[in-house]
Amino acid sequence: MTQRRAVAVLLLGLLLLTGGTLSACGSEDQGGNTDPDLVDSVEVPNNGVCRTLTPDDVAQPANATKAVDCTMEHTAETFVTGGLPAEYDDVEYDDPDLGNFAYRTCSKAFAKFVGADESLVLRTTISWAWFRPSEKAWKKGARWYRCDVVGGNSSSPDYRPLPETAKGMLSGRPKDSWLSCARGASVAEGAKVPCSAKHDWRAVTTVKLGKPDDKYPGDRVMESRTRSFCAQSVKAWLNYPAEFEYGFTFFHKPEWDAGIRRSVCWARTAK
């Protein structure tokens, strides 16, 4: 049996605590795409709203982009909004705990909204972003969050248009255009592409490596367990061939602390 093992430490879109955890500024400048009524708004945003967002928009903590009719082309859809719990009334604008709250809240609601289980969430090309009030609105006492489905992930140079609604779009058998594949000699070095495009690797399964209360076991243990479990999982997915190639993606302590307990297994296949 020959096996190729590729380690790719890739943050698959959803796993980034988006919506400004990478930036401390509170800019809502979307240029000509800004809705002046939303700039520095203290009101909880409306749910079910569609927008045309870009990766640059998602990199900001706040967003005042104009809404578009969901029957028109759009790259984002708001799927949950609400007020922040009282424990965040006095925290700083860029407090890391806000990102942890957003991950717990948005990720759970995201999976339910698009119709995905824990495994599929890590193997799709769509993800979610979250936004908070602007810094000016925050100083006025605004404490809300907004979670949006976006048509791409952290490796996407731009976002693709979503269906009229993303609700249930991953239910049943999702389209290959929304599943994660890679093109190249290895998963680690290959370009990440939707499975509807030409590819050499497909993210086929995930393996669970811990319980919610478990402490992070360390990188070496994570890699060893992932390698072993993915070898078995991919072999089963390929219907137990005599020879096969596989790769895997495992995550590190920051993702573990955010609640990720799975690694992603990739099969060498053009199908």
Phi and psi, residue 139, nearest 5°: -65, -25
Q: Residue 49 in contact with residue 65, Cβ under 8 Å?
A: no
pLDDT the model gives residue 31: 57
pLDDT below 70 — which residues of the chain? Answer: 1-32
pLDDT at residue 2, as a whole number: 32
pTM metric for this prediction: 0.86
- Give the pLDDT score at 204: 97
For the chain, the residue count is 271
How far apart are the C-alpha atoms of 106 and 147, rounded to whole Å? 6
Catalogue the E-assigned strands of the chain: 50-51, 67-68, 76-83, 127-131, 144-150, 180-183, 191-194, 201-208, 246-249, 262-268
Asked if 192 contacts 10 with a C-beta cutoff of 8 angstroms, the reply is yes
Cα 58 to Cα 69: distance, rounded to the nearest angstrom: 20
In our burial notation (b when 16+ CB lie closer than 10 A, e otherwise), range 102-117 reads: bbebbbebbbebbebe
The model's pLDDT over 198-236, given as tens digits with 9 standing for 90+, comes to 999 999 999 999 999 999 999 999 999 999 999 999 999
Asked whether the beta carbons of 28 and 64 are under 8 A apart, the reply is: yes
Domain locations in the chain as residue ranges: 13-150, 176-268
Q: Please name every residue paired with 203 in a beta bridge, in sequence order, or none if there are none.
A: 266
Task: Please give the pLDDT value at position 1.
Answer: 33
pLDDT for residue 27: 53
The residues near 108 (Cβ < 8 Å, ≥ 6 apart) are none
Give the integer Cα–Cα distance in Å for 130 and 110: 11
Q: Are 50 and 74 in contact (CB under 8 A)?
A: yes
pLDDT at 33: 87
